[in-house]
Amino acid sequence: MNALKLENVTKKYDSFTLDNINIELPQGCIMGFVGENGAGKSTTIKLILDLIRRDGGNIEILGQDNIKVGKEIREDIGVVLDEACFHENLNHVQIAKVMKNIYKTWDDKNFESLVSKFSLDPKKTVKEYSRGMKMKLSIAVALAHSPKLLILDEATSGLDPIARDEILDVFFDFIQDEQHSIFMSSHITSDLEKICDYITFIHKGKIVFCHTKDELSETYGILKCSQEELDRIDKSLIKGIRKNNFGIEALVLRDALKGNFIIDNASIEEIMLFFVKENVK
């Protein structure tokens, strides 16, 4: 079963259109959702959560239509948005009390263990928290009601590398259950490289690709060569070119490229850059 399935999802604004988005996230997997600012990541996540109405297409969460689903399915979704939305004057003990009455599946023990793992001080109220601490609190709340699907929008931004690593560990623990899945958008592609099974890249409201991470590293490579060498290569294999005075870097489909070339591994960040900035059409 798919944890999340988007079919031809469309949303039109005056200045921006989310155009026929197709995404499939199998259960038990983690999908990273990348794209530049304004590419449509948050719009997509808001559509999934039914915070805004779609103009066309279908969205299924855990096998059910996301607009028709009842409370039970909603309890199975943990959400972390980039701004924490807890009352400023509460501490995490009081927040747990509130949450207990919202979610039937709230697990106090789980919450306590996450809070102590993240070393959140019970004496401090939310307004005294740093951005990182607020983020950790949001993640603890999202996980404490035992969700099956975790949806995160920029959850690791603004955190230091050590805190991010702690959070990735928590995600790895979460995914040990084969029924659990994570859909996360992030600008920190190194985090996604560590943790994701699938990478979906959105650009100007359109999905550019949706690959497993292994496919991505096996498909794309950065070719380093001279202009003469580049001219001899089949143009259909070249996805992006960056020129400097002493040579050329190009994003290429490395499998199809025969011959003796210098081809480096391409990181997600480089693939994004070449697709957006140096695209050849």
Minimum distance between the CB of residue 178 and other proteins, rounded to whole angstroms? 7
Minimum distance between the CB of residue 212 and other proteins, rounded to whole angstroms? 5
- Residue from 134, 164, 213, 239 touching other proteins (CB under 8 A): that is 213
Task: Report, in angstroms and rounded to the nearest whole number, the Rg of the chain calculated over CA atoms.
Answer: 21
Cα 214 from chain centre: 17
| Span near other proteins by CB under 8 A; candidates 9-17, 70-78, 122-130, 209-217 | 209-217
Q: Distance between CA 190 and CA 194 in Å, rounded?
A: 6
- Residue from 2, 19, 27, 28 touching other proteins (CB under 8 A): that is 28
Closest CB to other proteins among residues 1, 52 = 1
Closest CB to other proteins among residues 160, 169 = 169
Tell me the CA distances in angstroms from 46 to 18, 54, 79, 237, 260, one per residue in order. Answer: 12, 10, 11, 36, 47
Minimum distance between the CB of residue 154 and other proteins, rounded to whole angstroms? 21
Count the neighbouring beta carbons within 10 Å of the beta carbon of residue 184: 23
Position 29 contacts other proteins (CB under 8 A): yes
Return the DSSP state at 223: E
Biggest distance spanned by C-alpha atoms of the chain: 68
Phi, psi of 66 (to 5 degrees): -75, -20
Q: Residue 137 carries which side chain, given as an amino acid letter? A: L
- Residue from 187, 194, 203, 206 touching other proteins (CB under 8 A): that is 194
DSSP-assigned states of every residue in 29-43: -EEEEE--TTSSHHH
Closest CB to other proteins among residues 72, 173 = 173
Residues 10 and 23: beta-carbon distance below 8 Å: no
Closest to 217 measured CA to CA, from 189, 249, 181, 187: 189
Task: Looking at residues 156 to 175 of the shown chain, list those that interact with other proteins (rule: CB under 8 A).
Answer: 168, 172-173, 175
Minimum distance between the CB of residue 223 and other proteins, rounded to whole angstroms? 15
Closest CB to other proteins among residues 74, 194 = 194
Q: Which residues of this protein are in contact with other proteins, per CB under 8 A?
A: 28-30, 168, 172-173, 175-176, 178, 194-197, 212-214, 218
